[in-house]
Amino acid sequence: MQKFYRDKSKLFECNISVDGASINETKARLVLEFPNDRNLLFYGKIKENGKCEINIPALKEFEESNGTVILEIIADSTYFESWRDGFNLETNKKVTVEMIEKKDDVLVEKKIIPHVQIITTKEDKKSTVVENKKETPTSLLTDFKNFANKKKVNLSETCKDKDKYLKFMMEFKKHKTLTNNEVLKLHEEISSHYVKKLI
């Protein structure tokens, strides 16, 4: 079984001996017969010592398949089918690509916990409980809405257009100097409000 390739050439070699005819006037050709009745014909060179070389180029236009290869000799106008074998047409080098999906970082919501401090006054020596609450900063979603109002952007319409939405989101990210995680969290909030028709 012979092998020929779609992505590289192959040199087919054999020795030919001819009786009753001049080797210089003898011609050799290799025929590749495919199952779909499409044949390829390649002519070779026969040296004085009888060595025959036939170069088979890369057969890029053909799909991987198999068929029959025939060596034909023509000497003094006489045709000989001197050799026949099967062949496989295959790709010598194959590349396999496997896509690896990177999962986004899991966002952990930070909760603000109020601190309780006990203060004792000297005058009445009574204990007073004072609750120090940290001010909750304005949410990113509120800032986003305010930014949209300032820019006179209709959020409901913008969310329908992917390109406009991404462009405006990048503008807001730059304005607030947000991290990618903050942008992702904001996007999830916007999506939730959009589905609930709160935007």
Side chain identity, residue 166: L
Euclidean distance between CA atoms 175 and 150, whole angstroms: 13
Mean pLDDT of the 111-136 span: 46
Nearest in space to 199 (alpha carbons), one of 158, 140, 143, 164: 158
On the 0-12 / 13-18 / 19+ scale of CB atoms within 10 A, 44 is buried
State the pTM of this model: 0.45
Lowest mean pLDDT among 87-91, 127-131, 170-174: 127-131
User: Regarding predicted confidence, which is higher, 126 or 173?
Assistant: 173
* Pairing relationship of beta strands 27-33 and 10-15 according to DSSP bridges: unpaired
Mean pLDDT of the 130-149 span: 68
Query: Is the separation of the CB atoms in 62 and 19 below 8 Å?
Result: no
pLDDT digits (tens, 9 = 90+) for 152-178: 888 888 888 888 888 988 998 998 888
pLDDT digits (tens, 9 = 90+) for 37-47: 889 999 998 99
Query: Out of 2.60.40.10, 1.10.10.60, 3.40.50.620, 3.60.15.10, which CATH number does the structure's domain 2-90 have?
Result: 2.60.40.10
User: pLDDT-derived band of residue 122, with 50, 70 and 90 as boundaries?
Assistant: low
